[in-house]
Structure 1
């Protein structure tokens, strides 16, 4: 008997999709808002913005900054600044108003009032209210229209534990406040009942990262504990009040940890049988189908189903840009049709497993929703067994149609302060007006129904392939993505292995020979001073002379080595570092107290220096010709000679590698003198240099006490160049000593001195405080304030001062202070006892001067074992005080008040230093001015001031911060080279060859 051929369910689903989709569009054509409705006018404004990309961008930038504008003057000024570049796109009356309005004029007042009131009115369309009573009114109106709701709290980013507690309390209060009224509503079976029984009327959506300010994928154990501690009371409150809790999804780095915490807490005995919970899955991630399969397996094991809200995803731009900037794989689909196709595949998975994962489809794409209905009909799933979810204030007519057809439609409903909620409003408006928006295509651009309902795969077949982005000549080494478990495991394994190797001896390396000495440098773990990292030979005066002789002897052969071969050797060093990446980072964790991410970034920068200088040397090695008839002129470079590299401990691998790689790729030989505190890490670099086969004597490893051998190196007549990074005091001493010529010298010594800074960040009145507070905090306290570029002064506009200071204090006291071996640690120890005592004395002296302490963190028991200094914030600091003028090089921040941007710039420039600086401002005019007037070598706008990357941000300052050269930049190698020009007369007895005749 022949088997009956199975019908393709996909074909039947597609037929239903087309039928349902066309029915919806046909009904929508008869349901357009009237000209007498406010929404009609709002839609016209949005439609106008959609039609002009430049106007849209400026309009949304203005809406985003509006919450920080507290005066008519600032509102009018920002309107004029934002729209100046696109004023020709506006009607004449609007252009005239922008041109002639003054803040105190009647027209200026009208502009300011109108801008704020219109933005608030727009916000009211998308935000349900501020108080529980206002929210109750809004959700009651939704219910009368036949909709369910899910409430999501808006507001500032959570950057402190106090803010996380307020976020938690807001949900507890909301659930308790709504329950007495909402649970007494008369039953509406369409939205209050599903095949499993009653559906909770109270429904809230929350973000796990907002429940714990130190939410870090690098620390999954600590993050999970912190989140669950605040999540459990919300789950209990919801369950006791017959409510539902939904976990929203955020950006990709948080995804796996969010899912894991969700699963862990719901497997606890107290919550294992709680079914009124759910989580989001984002279809624009290729991971989505795998994540669904994992949740299905987990749900079966749990024995109680959960809901899944399937969405396309709201962070596409962020994920794409962030991954490109980090040189990581882009985690999202790059074409819209791919996300649409994935949404449909995930829809099928959910529908076929609805008894384990109860489906909710969050979309305004009618094709996607019709497709879900198609699968429901194909599988015989009741209408009330799944949900359609749309954003509050958007897609009103389609939502009404689905509700009228018997589907449960839930409005995702933001609530909270209107003005701080503007950031949400901007995201929604951008999403609604993007080029790929379904709403835009269907209602603003009149795309045909046939095209709107086309299968995503068919759209893809007709779409042109993505253009390949050309690969640049130099690409930065990607930082390790510690949100990936394999990266965390590799780092932890390296830490364990390195810990087993602590305490070994390390000899000098001179001319390829290993030399032990009587005197030893004892390198200690700054987080645990009793732990010896290694015992390093300390060079004597004789060793210095021997090293100079070895380098001088190796110079002639190395200088004659073809530049391309020298570059290949340096690239091999980079390859070896890449192979030993986690091991090298682990050594820095122990020897220099660097937290995981800082140690990893140090290795990445060292790799970058090698690859960048290798490529740049190949370019410089090509002679430049400037020929004329009868004469050839060739311009080329030759190495200087023996280079003394004197490196600091704060970037023990990156800076040492950078100076050494620059010297040797240029054909010089090197005596590598590391800081005493980081001599073990330097020995690891020497191992790598030897492993790649560079000639003996080209690089010599000479650790020792700086005052002793440093002076010998600088004073030697055979040293052609000193490359130094460190304090201003030592740098100036080196420069002074090197300037004294010895009769035996054959050349004037060159000094490259990268010295200190008193770096400032200006926070303007219109700054985004979510970004400014975090930027200042990380810049000031990252690696315990021991980065050359660390922020030691925050200069804040008086209009933003109090809010900024309050949030900065809360955020800083929430940082984890601990041992660098702990991935949760944000602030570790300072480098040694001398640094610890010097910084503590500075803090004590400031207190004695009665400078107000805004925060001094509690160290607990840490100070008993290691060299810890509490992160300390002083406020209302006098710009001329010692605290505001002298470099501290530790976790101490002076917050200074400024009346306006002019005074802020005067304060910022009012030191001897000019290394790094930053400005947080959303005023185009202010950003133009600070570019011209802020005297620093590296200026950062609207971001933190640490973390300079090779090639992107060549690093170095001027004034008393350095000589003006830039490490990792196009002019750096030239410091290590001598330019030579050769001119040849090619005229012979009246005959000159053609330029190419001899080639």
Structure 2
């Protein structure tokens, strides 16, 4: 159905007229504090915060962490840390109570009490109750004002299946409770005069991601099955109680899967005729108009209308930040007027098609509301097919004005405890106080109402300015269907290539007579990935001779040519991304997301080292009168690259790329468990035009081939990543001066860690639990950066441990090719047996709170958590390299730091805290090469987070950092006296 609008100027006149009516019909005092009902402890504080961006940020950060603080002195201390800094404009009395008293003093505690009451009042402004009883009272008040409601249960982050089932059960219990109560309330006009159909008196809003803790667009089929089963329970309860179920929309990555789940379910015979259900469109998304068109086409096929809630969108900052970090296209409009314009376009589309869908216009922008209502009258939209929706505590006066104009208004009413509701509260505060907020602008006494009600004028789209500096290769977005299809195609293709032979090779000579050893799939040891032709000491000698000969010419190859070789490798990696991801999935059981990220890291190493070598090649000139001085670098010679199996592509390729671009030649001895990937690395360099002999592929046993190369007198440098034992042995061997050796060998060694994450009392526990789970059990803990110890402060120890255990219990153990898998097998039988031995002794070192079973065949070990571990216990001191997590209790933050630092390692560490002094102390005292604050400890990115540790974790080098290439070079200074017979060239002199 399509209607031609009336003349645009007439519609605009009607919009202006109706909008003015709404503005005039609203009541309440002016000023932003009136909007917030002056509920803060000081009437002026919020107004001041809006005028001071720094204060605004610090204030909202303080409010964010308040629910975690259990005592007045703690609150007072955090007030000092957040609001006591110089330059913040606070009321004089408050400033004195914060800055000049101890946290346990009476003035400080008085300020803390006021702060707590103020935050609670703010929460009550936007959250209709902490429990059902409080919510019912608030909802009854809405009904008295002739306003309908939709109830939302707060608690956005679901970390375990236990919590997901609790979320579901709360809704199942809530609907009959609401239905029984609202029957006694005085009715409001919810009858469609055309059909005499009574609308649902009870409405709930549900987040589908909260119904399943493992909700993942990468696993659409598995996610859809579980979520639909739980949605069916909700819908059946709604049918029995006469309730309406509306599906909220969340982050962009979940959008397509959410639509798929809901639409597929509603096409089933049991639900195809149900109309009391709704979906959401977010107008700030660039593809939302297409989503609206798709929903209309689906609704036409279905035959029964559903309600579409049209919102502007509440996750703008999150979407922009995520896309920027990943180097993806930003999915949202970055100009507010573009969103408003799109909102109006979708409004028109939905209202024109009111026979197919009912529309809920969810906005506080009077222009948007008036536009929708005018168009609804023009398109003769029946009352049943349109309602206005607003958020509880926001624009109440507009809601009242619309109700007074006999328009149906529904109030989105969240309820729940303050802690799970804090994320929602902060979003509302940000929305209220944003410069572009209609609510904030409407409270400006000097602003002409016609300016508020004018049609949105999007600015012309501007081409983004090129970012200076290094740009990382973006990972793939596996929420996209086309990306998942490409991966599946690659997995099938590579599966057909398994079982080939990969012999050692010296120059053009293939050493086919060497014994071949199978490399197997850790998830299925009966599946051979490839047969590896292991080298021998004799083959290693041939490789060394060729590498030394080639070095003489390769070192003189211009840097630009060497850099271009790396860049050609990078292009191949990008072109073959999915194929290489598949090889990683099969040979080392790396899940697709992590394998894809490893391909990105390999690309970054190539491009970054090429860039850095061009910079280093410029050298440094320091000339004075009569003398020139030039500081530059020379390559060292033959580099022996000994790579690990856990990052079999990125780390060996990165070390090899660094050696080659600096003018060294290289012999690559890949890990025995990942030698097929090693052969792939050499193939990439061959295809990139690397001269024969500059890189040799020499797989073999570490104790034979590896040891021979390390001891060889012509080895100039050894780049190694692996265990501490092997790394220390290499370091010792390279310190020995052998006959024929003409230079001191250099060692680059990264040797793992016993990494800790500290969680303090102020931490966001949702964030901390998910971060620890990812850090400890991602790739089964087989990363040198993995978290193997979590140190939790005593006040939250029991709560954190309980939630952590349930979260880990919810993880699926299985092969990397299964998209539902969260915990993959360990690399081989030795690793499996070693890990199981640690688990067998765990009960003597602590309390085993979780030991998941594991499938077979395959080298599986289920996630294991051991609580109450002593700091000096083997589980807290020794690197296990498996999915085993020790949980330790600390009585204070300084004690937690002492425990974290109490190992010989110093690789990575993490902190979850919202206490500024703790964050600062960790920055100063946490002995790690990479410290991660309020995020997981794994996933370092080239140039952004150069990676490497010290103490017994390594020699202090940083892969992917600005000084890494210096390890492969020797510096030289050339000084020339240019004065002859009393004269010298004069720079810039002209005759």
Fold similarity call, TM over 0.5: yes
Deviation at 1:101? 2.9
Corresponding position of 1:17 = 15
Whether 1:852 aligns to 2:847 is yes
Whether 1:898 aligns to 2:890 is yes
Residue by residue, what CA displacement relative to the aligned partner does 1:376-399 show, whole Å, maximum 9, x if unpaired? 121122445301111111101111
Q: Distance in 1 between matches of 2:821 and 2:241?
A: 38
Deviation at 1:136? 1.8
Q: Distance in 2 between matches of 1:164 and 1:301?
A: 32
Deviation at 1:346? 0.3
Residue by residue, what CA displacement relative to the aligned partner does 1:78-107 show, whole Å, maximum 9, x if unpaired? 000000225640121111111223333221
Residue by residue, what CA displacement relative to the aligned partner does 1:687-739 show, whole Å, maximum 9, x if unpaired? 11111111000000000111110110001111100000000000000010111
Q: Does the 8 A contact of 1:676 with 1:704 survive in 2?
A: yes
Corresponding position of 1:385 = 385
Whether 1:175 aligns to 2:163 is no
Corresponding position of 2:501 = 505
Corresponding position of 2:929 = 937
Equivalent in 956, 978, 990 of residue 964 of structure 1 = 956
Corresponding position of 1:684 = 680
Corresponding position of 2:271 = 271
Whether 1:976 aligns to 2:971 is no
Residue by residue, what CA displacement relative to the aligned partner does 1:928-978 show, whole Å, maximum 9, x if unpaired? 111110010000111110000000000000000000000000000000011
Corresponding position of 1:482 = 478
Residue by residue, what CA displacement relative to the aligned partner does 1:140-196 show, whole Å, maximum 9, x if unpaired? 110110100000000361110000000000101110111112134443224677757
Corresponding position of 1:759 = 755
Residue by residue, what CA displacement relative to the aligned partner does 1:618-673 show, whole Å, maximum 9, x if unpaired? 00001211111111111111111110000000000000110000000000000000
Compared with structure 1, are the counterparts of its residues 361 and 166 closer, same or farther at alpha carbon in structure 2 (3 Å cutoff)?
Answer: same
3-state SS of the aligned residue for 2:230? Answer: helix
Q: Distance in 2 between matches of 1:704 and 1:553?
A: 23
Corresponding position of 1:166 = 166
Q: 1:60-139 maps to which residues of 2 (within 5 A)?
A: 60-85=60-85, 88-139=88-139
Corresponding position of 2:828 = 832
Q: Does the 8 A contact of 1:253 with 1:483 survive in 2?
A: yes
Compared with structure 1, are the counterparts of its residues 901 and 37 closer, same or farther at alpha carbon in structure 2 (3 Å cutoff)?
Answer: closer
Whether 1:407 aligns to 2:399 is no
3-state SS of the aligned residue for 2:205? Answer: strand
Compared with structure 1, are the counterparts of its residues 560 and 33 closer, same or farther at alpha carbon in structure 2 (3 Å cutoff)?
Answer: closer
Structure 2, unaligned runs of 5 or more: none
Q: 1:21-36 maps to which residues of 2 (within 5 A)?
A: 21-28=19-26
Equivalent in 622, 631, 636 of residue 640 of structure 1 = 636
3-state SS of the aligned residue for 1:789? Answer: coil
3-state SS of the aligned residue for 1:572? Answer: helix
Corresponding position of 1:460 = 459
Compared with structure 1, are the counterparts of its residues 6 and 874 closer, same or farther at alpha carbon in structure 2 (3 Å cutoff)?
Answer: closer
Corresponding position of 1:492 = 488
Q: Distance in 1 between matches of 2:196 and 2:296?
A: 18
Q: Distance in 1 between matches of 2:764 and 2:901?
A: 23
Q: Does the 8 A contact of 1:671 with 1:699 survive in 2?
A: yes
Q: Distance in 2 between matches of 1:357 and 1:34?
A: 37
Corresponding position of 1:605 = 601
Compared with structure 1, are the counterparts of its residues 775 and 890 closer, same or farther at alpha carbon in structure 2 (3 Å cutoff)?
Answer: same
Compared with structure 1, are the counterparts of its residues 561 and 37 closer, same or farther at alpha carbon in structure 2 (3 Å cutoff)?
Answer: closer
Q: Does the 8 A contact of 1:776 with 1:791 survive in 2?
A: yes
Corresponding position of 2:717 = 721
Q: Does the 8 A contact of 1:148 with 1:191 survive in 2?
A: no
Q: Distance in 2 between matches of 1:804 and 1:446?
A: 51
Equivalent in 582, 587, 612 of residue 578 of structure 2 = 582
Residue by residue, what CA displacement relative to the aligned partner does 1:819-872 show, whole Å, maximum 9, x if unpaired? 10011211100000001001100111222x25210111122xx2x310001110
Q: Distance in 2 between matches of 1:174 and 1:326?
A: 40
Whether 1:882 aligns to 2:882 is no
Corresponding position of 1:778 = 774
Corresponding position of 2:542 = 546
Deviation at 1:277? 0.4
Q: Does the 8 A contact of 1:88 with 1:95 survive in 2?
A: no
Q: Does the 8 A contact of 1:216 with 1:223 survive in 2?
A: yes
Equivalent in 796, 799, 809 of residue 800 of structure 1 = 796
3-state SS of the aligned residue for 2:677? Answer: helix
Compared with structure 1, are the counterparts of its residues 49 and 13 closer, same or farther at alpha carbon in structure 2 (3 Å cutoff)?
Answer: same
Deviation at 1:982? 0.8
Compared with structure 1, are the counterparts of its residues 983 and 48 closer, same or farther at alpha carbon in structure 2 (3 Å cutoff)?
Answer: closer
3-state SS of the aligned residue for 1:567? Answer: helix
Corresponding position of 1:528 = 524
Structure 1 vs Structure 2 CA RMSD:
1.9
Compared with structure 1, are the counterparts of its residues 467 and 932 closer, same or farther at alpha carbon in structure 2 (3 Å cutoff)?
Answer: farther
Corresponding position of 1:206 = 206
3-state SS of the aligned residue for 1:39? Answer: coil
Q: Distance in 2 between matches of 1:537 and 1:775?
A: 41
Aligned length: 987
Q: Distance in 1 between matches of 2:81 and 2:28?
A: 42
Corresponding position of 1:286 = 286
Deviation at 1:997? 6.6
Q: Does the 8 A contact of 1:871 with 1:892 survive in 2?
A: yes
Which aligned segments of 4 or more residues in structure 1 are displaced greater than 4 angstroms?
5-9, 29-38, 40-45, 190-196, 996-999
Corresponding position of 2:396 = 396
Q: Does the 8 A contact of 1:763 with 1:794 survive in 2?
A: yes
Whether 1:995 aligns to 2:969 is no
Whether 1:254 aligns to 2:254 is yes
Whether 1:813 aligns to 2:812 is no
Q: Does the 8 A contact of 1:367 with 1:452 survive in 2?
A: yes
Q: Does the 8 A contact of 2:94 with 2:111 survive in 1?
A: no
Q: Distance in 1 between matches of 2:252 and 2:418?
A: 28
Deviation at 1:16? 1.3
Q: Distance in 2 between matches of 1:246 and 1:791?
A: 39
Q: 1:300-379 maps to which residues of 2 (within 5 A)?
A: 300-379=300-379
Q: Distance in 2 between matches of 1:36 and 1:159?
A: 38
Q: Does the 8 A contact of 2:156 with 2:210 survive in 1?
A: no
Compared with structure 1, are the counterparts of its residues 12 and 831 closer, same or farther at alpha carbon in structure 2 (3 Å cutoff)?
Answer: same
Compared with structure 1, are the counterparts of its residues 452 and 909 closer, same or farther at alpha carbon in structure 2 (3 Å cutoff)?
Answer: same
Deviation at 1:30? 7.4
Residue by residue, what CA displacement relative to the aligned partner does 1:271-295 show, whole Å, maximum 9, x if unpaired? 1111000011000011111011111
Q: Distance in 1 between matches of 2:193 and 2:915?
A: 52
Compared with structure 1, are the counterparts of its residues 545 and 420 closer, same or farther at alpha carbon in structure 2 (3 Å cutoff)?
Answer: same
Deviation at 1:71? 1.1
Corresponding position of 1:699 = 695
Compared with structure 1, are the counterparts of its residues 421 and 934 closer, same or farther at alpha carbon in structure 2 (3 Å cutoff)?
Answer: same
Q: Distance in 2 between matches of 1:37 and 1:211?
A: 34
Q: Distance in 2 between matches of 1:130 and 1:193?
A: 37
Residue by residue, what CA displacement relative to the aligned partner does 1:389-434 show, whole Å, maximum 9, x if unpaired? 1111110111101011011000000011134322211111111111
